[in-house]
Amino acid sequence: MKIRIKFAKYGVMKFIGHLDTMRFFQKAIRRAGIDVKYSEGFSPHQIMSFAAPLGVGVESCGEYMDIEVLSMTSTEDMKQALNRVMVKGIEILSVTPLPERAKNAMASVAAASYRIHMKEGGFPVTDLKTCIQGFYGQETIPYTKETKKSVRELDLKQGIYEMDADDEGGIRMLVNASSSGNIKPSMVFEKLCQYAGWEILPSACQVTRLETYADLANEGEMPRFVPLSEIESL
Amino acid sequence: MGKLALSDEILMQVEKPARYIGNEVNSVVKDKTRVSVRFAMCFPDVYEIGMSHLGIQILYSMLNEWDDVWCERVYSPWVDLDAIMRKQSIPLFGLESQEPVRDMDFLGITIQYEMCYTNILQILELSQIPLTARERGENMPIVIGGGPCTYNPEPIADFFDLFYIGEGETQYRPLLDWYLENKRLGGTREDFLHGAAKIPGIYVPQFYEEVYNEDGTIRGRKKLYEDIPDVIVKEIAKDVTNIPYPMNPVVPFIKVTQDRVTLEIQRGCIRGCRFCQAGQIYRPVRERDVDKLKEYALEMLKNTGHEEISLSSLSSSDYSKLDELLDFLLAECGERHTNISLPSLRIDSFSLDVMSKVQDVKKSSLTFAPEAGSQRLRNVINKGLTEEDILRGAALAFKGGWTRVKLYFMLGLPTETKEDILGIGDLSNKIAAAFFEAVPKDKRVNGKVQIVTSTSFFIPKPFTPFQWAAMCTKEEFLDKAHLTKQGIMSQLNQKSIKYNWHEADVSVLEGVLARGDRRVAEVIRKAYEKGCIFDAWSEYFKNELWMESFSECGVDIGFYTTRPRADDEIFPWDFLDCGVTREFLLREWRKAQEETVSPNCKKQCQGCGANRFGTGICYVETFDK
């Protein structure tokens, strides 16, 4: 039986990287006594799939992982059992059974929404809304992505589906998070700083992933994003 | 959630920030207003090493069981954070509270190997605690040292307020009670230390002085108080089954060296290898009750979620209920998808059978530690492993599908000759040949056998029969390593044998620190001030700075390493009593020179003196005694 687990990761736990978060959950599932399914072979491991890796330093209230179990009483019991063995800064938000035909969490990811705010004070601008609208209103937002192997020119605009300021002084955006076109909020923020003439250290801002989405649209249609937890519609 | 001691900016620029944030599963957070004693327990090396240490987990759990005590963990900040903390004057903090160590009542430091001595100074300096005990004011934490290196505490005596000699389970409560009592009475730091010096197992170095002869050897010791003991006897847990054991070990977020449940099955070792310090200082052998161990195993696996359990002891094969314990673990762990790791097992058909059930034979390797290349030299060191044992074990293993064997030897052992050294190559070759003999051509899965032969350099340690032995110079060590290599290269099966040897510089330094006296402290401090830190990490070991420090302090390395010792020389550690008598050690030293072996504790009592503790193997009727 496939199960989708939604969780939040915040506070000091933002310093725990993706692989260590997986290790944390493998041990947590054993502590919680969940009847999880293991792979075959000489060194069996828990069958577990994470939706989208979260960068170190980023908080989230919309993380997902799928596991497979051999038996369970109820999803509510499982949620409680897991929350009993969590640490401060990781909280299980929901546990939902997943239809057999559903794609796994990782394959489903199409987009993610983020919020960026200053850890102290606000962004150095009087009208954040107008500033963000101006930035997002540009025809193109060219970005040079450098990796160890290559330098690539991207247009971020293609992958930013929505972007706005909220009433609490934060910046919100919905961006492409699919494996082919993933956009990191830090890339967008770097361009925004250039546009607005801000000199802000990355560590002065807090990035929070708000939700992770699947796209229900058929090919050629306009995207139809739904949170990964809304499994009924998958 | 509490505030971290380090800013996000710092945590985002250092490697592995998870080393510094605490918050791990089973870490203990208490209300600081409701405890009377704050205790910082430190392993002076990086988090991944320190978190793998069983002793700290035991003491952490024991101290936190007490309502009036809050024990936190402290590890060495890695070099990247070290530089930042110095630059910004950030005080070192406990992981649980994230509050400065210098505001706590005690700083306990476990001292597991000599090469961490400069890290002790790092811990003190980053904590903003004066390096020497005499410089510390009334409100500074009491700095306690413990662990195997305290069996010669003299080279680091200046840096500690007190040492706890022996096993930690017994005297911490009396020590903390006296601390609280002294506080209530309005006593000073000096009053506390004076009283502590009278608690069994506690050594307060500043109340004693070393007095030297003209030739630099020790004439004796002077005490500053009449009412403190001349000799400090090690503390020992008499009933190891009923002492505290951590049922809820802290589970790190990042991968650490020992990422598993550790089950200590016994303390001590019956074997009495003459180079081995652990084999003497943990005497007598005491086994834990097997039923209790079974309970512990399940409970700890449940509370940690670890995927692996490891048995811990100096020689697991000597545990009398090993079969019963392993059968139990095999049955339970199979169901739970848990691995069993089995270090220090003698290779025989039973252990191979167990190992083939818990590990992938094709991928794992078998380890033998003959320690010396000839039977003659193995008799000298009392290593009761014969060539026949090794070849029989290896042949069994090869038939069982193993193709990789690791061999460990030491170079520079007392009485060693060229023949002994060449014997290392011979034995490696015979093991390779045993493979070709045991496994017919068409059954050779990986095609061939792989022997990895490693040598370390022998370092005489206090409280061993070899405490009298002269150590080799660096040049002699390197010559021996080259001879070993030549010996291996001349073998028929040399293509199947890979040879590794240990650094010689570090071994020489370890030799000085192991048998040093109080005059070595100045060198340690100087080397640290010059920038020596993480000496146990070869990429950070700076031999030239150490050599400069020795010459600037006028301390002669050879005095501590290569100098032969007379039978009646007073050693810096002779004021400690580890249970084993000096007469026994001397007897063993002479037997070594006569190439005579001593039977192990199960076969025949050798009268080492440890029976005076009234417990353990000394009082167990064994079947083959």
Angle at B350 between CA B347 and CA B352, to 5 degrees: 55
> Are B222 and B209 spatial neighbours (Cβ–Cβ below 8 Å)?
yes
Domain B260-502+564-612 carries which CATH code?
Answer: 3.80.30.20
Residue A89 to residues B25, B29, B156, Cα–Cα distance (Å): 12, 15, 41
* Cβ within 8 Å of A, B 529-588: none
Residue B327 to residues B70, B155, B306, B354, Cα–Cα distance (Å): 39, 46, 20, 9
Q: Decide if B11 and A15 are in contact by the 8 Å CB cutoff.
A: yes
* Cβ within 8 Å of A, B 489-508: none
Q: Decide if B12 and A56 are in contact by the 8 Å CB cutoff.
A: yes
Q: Decide if A27 and B305 are in contact by the 8 Å CB cutoff.
A: yes
Q: Decide if B8 and A31 are in contact by the 8 Å CB cutoff.
A: no
Query: Which residues in chain A touch residue B339, judged by CB atoms under 8 angstroms apart?
Result: 43
Q: Kindly state whether B357 is in contact with chain A, defined as any CB-CB distance less than 8 angstroms.
A: no
Please list the alpha-helical segments (H only) found in B66-159: 79-88, 117-126
Q: Which pLDDT belongs to residue A233? A: 57
Q: Which pLDDT belongs to residue A234? A: 54
Q: Decide if A23 and B301 are in contact by the 8 Å CB cutoff.
A: no
Q: Decide if A202 and B307 are in contact by the 8 Å CB cutoff.
A: no
Q: Which pLDDT belongs to residue B625? A: 41
Q: Kindly state whether B249 is in contact with chain A, defined as any CB-CB distance less than 8 angstroms.
A: no
Q: Decide if A28 and B305 are in contact by the 8 Å CB cutoff.
A: yes
pTM value?
Answer: 0.95
Distant-in-sequence, close-in-space partners of B550: CB < 8 Å, separation ≥ 6: B523, B556, B557
Was domain A2-98 assigned CATH 1.20.140.10? no
State the best of A31, A36, A70, A90 to mutate against chain B, taking most chain B CBs within 10 Å: A31
Query: B355 vs chain A: nearest CA distance in angstroms?
Result: 13
Q: Which residue shows structure tokens 């040292």?
A: B145
Q: DSSP 3-state assignment of B437?
A: helix
Q: Which pLDDT belongs to residue B477? A: 97
Q: Decide if B23 and A89 are in contact by the 8 Å CB cutoff.
A: yes
* Cβ within 8 Å of A, B 305-334: 305-307
Nearest CB to A30 within list B9, B21, B305 = B305
* Cβ within 8 Å of B, A 11-50: 11-13, 15-17, 20, 23-24, 26-31, 33, 38, 42-44
Q: Decide if A87 and B9 are in contact by the 8 Å CB cutoff.
A: no
Nearest CB to B18 within list A15, A119, A202 = A15
Q: Which pLDDT belongs to residue B605? A: 95
Among residues B601, B603, B568, B604, the alpha carbon closest in space to that of B583 is found at: B568
Question: Could you tell me the mean pLDDT of each successive run of 10 residues in chain B, 625 residues long?
Answer: 88 97 98 98 98 97 98 98 98 98 98 98 98 97 98 98 98 98 98 98 98 97 97 97 96 95 96 96 97 97 96 92 93 87 80 80 82 96 90 90 93 98 97 92 79 97 98 97 97 94 95 98 98 97 98 98 97 98 98 96 95 94 53
* Cβ within 8 Å of A, B 10-29: 11-12, 17-18, 21-25
* Interface contacts A/B by beta carbons within 8 Å: 71
Residue A33 to residues A1, A73, A80, A154, B302, Cα–Cα distance (Å): 16, 12, 12, 46, 8
Query: Which residues in chain A touch residue B21, judged by CB atoms under 8 angstroms apart?
Result: 12, 15
State the best of A9, A15, A18, A43 to mutate against chain B, taking most chain B CBs within 10 Å: A15
DSSP 8-class letter at B520 = G
Query: Which residues in chain B touch residue A201, judged by CB atoms under 8 angstroms apart?
Result: 9
Query: Which residues in chain A touch residue B306, judged by CB atoms under 8 angstroms apart?
Result: 27, 30
Query: B4 vs chain A: nearest CA distance in angstroms?
Result: 8
Nearest CB to A16 within list B18, B301, B307 = B18
DSSP H or E run through A146: strand A142-146
> Are B572 and B152 spatial neighbours (Cβ–Cβ below 8 Å)?
yes
Q: Decide if B253 and A16 are in contact by the 8 Å CB cutoff.
A: yes
Answer yes or no: is pLDDT of A23 > 60. Answer: yes
Q: Kindly state whether A88 is in contact with chain B, defined as any CB-CB distance less than 8 angstroms.
A: yes
- Homologous superfamily of the B8-233 domain (CATH): Cobalamin-binding domain (3.40.50.280)
Q: Which pLDDT belongs to residue B171? A: 98
Enumerate the CATH 3.40.50.280 domain ranges in chain B, comma separated.
8-233
Q: Decide if A57 and B9 are in contact by the 8 Å CB cutoff.
A: no
Q: Which residue shows structure tokens 């580890």?
A: B578
Q: What are the strands, taking DSSP E only, across B330-459?
A: 339-341, 366-371, 404-411, 450-457
Query: Which residues in chain B touch residue A17, judged by CB atoms under 8 angstroms apart?
Result: 18
At A202, list the tokens.
Answer: 């990355």
Task: List, for residues A36-71, the tens digit of each pLDDT value.
Answer: 999 987 778 999 999 999 999 999 999 999 999 999
* Cβ within 8 Å of B, A 117-156: 119
Q: Which residue of chain B is at minimal alpha-carbon distance from A86?
A: B25
Longest dimension (CA), chain A: 61
> Are B141 and B123 spatial neighbours (Cβ–Cβ below 8 Å)?
no
CA distance B611 to B243: 20
Enumerate the CATH 3.80.30.20 domain ranges in chain B, comma separated.
260-502+564-612
